[in-house]
Amino acid sequence: MSAPLSENAIAVLSQQGHSLMTGDSVGERYSVDFTSENAFRPSAVVRPGSTDEVSHVLKTCHELGQPVVVQGGMTGLAGGATPQAGELALSLERLTGIEELDAAAMTITAWAGTPLQVIQEAARDAGFHLPLDFGARGSCHIGGAIATNAGGNQVIRFGMTRNLVLGLEAVLADGTVISSLNKMLKNNAGYDLKQLFVGTEGTLGVITRAVLRLYPKLESTCTALCAVRSFDPAVRLLRELQGKLGGSVSAYEVMWSPYFDRVIRHSDSLRSPFDRDYPIYALVEAEGSDQETDSRRFEEVLAGALEAGLIDDAAIAQSEKDRQAFWNIRDGVAEITADLLPYASLDVSMDIAEMAEFLDQFDTELKEALPDAINLVFGHIGDNNLHLFVSTRREGDLKTIFDIGYRLTGAHGGSVSAEHGIGVLKRDYLHLSRSPEEVELMRCLKQALDPRGILNPGRVIPA
């Protein structure tokens, strides 16, 4: 049951002619993000179709002190887009489409509500590559990806979403439009204002349009699944590949055996390419310009790694079908976690040198506190990111799992959120990764740009 919004706010927005849904017309999709936690159907949803409309909505809400939760594709994993009592949901789903693809500048300009996959395909059709990719590509909005500084599978080569954003248009809490749709790689004319909106999860302003950097389309792809005996050679293998493949390594995904084995066991279509089990598996991908030359070099480097003892075995994809089969194992988390509900999903990062000790300590403390806990681990590793899916299938154990995991993450100098954001679910753990001075500066920025605290209140910054 939802709490009533200000009747005055609804009346004023309706009079302004905005696309407003109220009461029973509000669908369930506006009630919760992908976490499915703390679902709450908002009393009203406004769906602006232009930057001017976003500006008018926020100006009205600012004047009336009406809290607003900003929503995109609802694929977030931190509870940031899930409504709370008394909030108006501001959905950007009508702000969609490619505005321009500039081949000379190698940029693409899109509205915030455009699905990532639509932008990827537009770039591909024009002979370019947008190196931002993750499982929710078909439903996530580019505005949300920017607002959370999304990561994905190619960060190791191209960086986070932040590295791909050249220009932004955003609307402040009081309706002021900040339009800086820059296409230039170099622009040091004062403060880089777009960074106020990248990764700040809609708490400082609402992104409406973005200019993204494109890269030349890559003509070759080499993929292998490698079997490794421990974490140390897995790290050494990554550095060996990066050193000898000339910077072409675009993905390096490491899966520990409990995760790998569970995916294989729970899938009728997936098979391990190896005739025995190994402690760790590394999915490696390199992209370049000539398939024949790149494949030969790729195989030579892997053969050298095998001879040097960095890997115990390797299966090289001989077709796109093979490649997809390897990636389906890595992406099999979506299939296996349904059986583990409720589970704790930890998205953490730290210095690679800290990872092995962190995982050992986490396993030890987890078994002491919850002996029957299942811990499934995989990670991008090269970009410092670990994903842990932990379950006892008991709701009451989740806080214990999070407390242990995040406390140890902080103790190892890591981040409680590598790529999924803070939102609501990690807000109370932020102090483990940020100093009091940093948090206070965040509060100052919030107060300066949103003095009435209407934008995504209660997200990111602890009370």
Q: Which residue has the tokens 């842990």?
A: 388
Would you give the DSSP letter of residue 94? T
How many whole angstroms separate alpha carbon 325 and alpha carbon 314?
14
Report the pLDDT value the prediction gives residue 1, as an integer from 0 to 100: 35
The two three-digit tokens of residue 304, written as one number:
């050298």
The pLDDT profile of the chain, 463 residues, written as one tens digit per residue, is 344 556 677 777 877 767 789 888 898 999 999 999 999 999 899 999 999 999 999 999 999 999 999 999 999 999 999 999 999 999 999 999 999 999 999 999 999 999 999 999 999 999 999 999 988 999 999 999 999 999 988 999 999 999 999 999 999 999 999 999 999 999 999 999 999 999 999 999 999 999 999 999 999 999 999 999 999 999 999 999 999 998 899 999 999 999 999 999 998 899 999 999 999 999 999 999 999 999 999 999 999 999 999 999 999 999 999 999 999 999 998 889 888 999 999 999 999 999 999 999 999 999 999 999 999 999 998 899 999 999 999 999 999 999 999 999 999 999 999 999 999 999 999 999 999 999 999 999 999 999 999 999 999 999 8
Report the pLDDT value the prediction gives residue 6, as an integer from 0 to 100: 63
Residues 355 and 386: beta-carbon distance below 8 Å: yes
Nearest to 81 by CA among 421, 347, 423: 423
Report the pLDDT value the prediction gives residue 16, as an integer from 0 to 100: 73
Q: Give burial (CB, 10 Å; 0-12/13-18/19+) of 360.
A: exposed
Alpha helix (H) residue ranges in 221-319: 231-244, 257-266, 291-307
Report the pLDDT value the prediction gives residue 2, as an integer from 0 to 100: 42
